[in-house]
Amino acid sequence: MIRHMRKRTCKHCKTFFPPDPRNVGRQHSCATPLCRQASTAASPRRWLRKPATHDSFRGPAHVERVRQWRQHHPG
């Protein structure tokens, strides 16, 4: 089955690029190093903006988990 792939506009440099056929539904930036770097840096910012992630690693259970890890991994 051959799919017709359209060119997309890069989210960072605004140029047209052909997306990778295996990742056509999720690729929003071209393959240039600066755009890949910008995409990688934007990923955690997008994750942190979601309301569900504001309390992801807070609370007494996580405090105890980190305390135990630090005892086993000094320095």
- Residue 46's pLDDT is what? 92
Residue 53's pLDDT is what? 85
Q: Domain extents for the chain?
A: 8-72
- Confidence (pLDDT) at 3: 61
The reported pLDDT for the residue numbered 1 is: 52
Whether pTM > 0.75 for this model: the answer is no
DSSP string, the chain: -PPPPPPEE-TTT--EEPPPGGGTTT--S-SSHHHHHHHHHHHHHHHHHSGGGTTTT-SHHHHHHHHHHHHHS--
pLDDT (tens digit, 0 to 9) for every residue of the chain, 75 residues total? Answer: 556 668 999 999 999 999 998 988 899 999 999 999 999 999 999 998 998 888 888 889 999 999 999 999 998
Task: Identify the pLDDT of residue 54.
Answer: 82
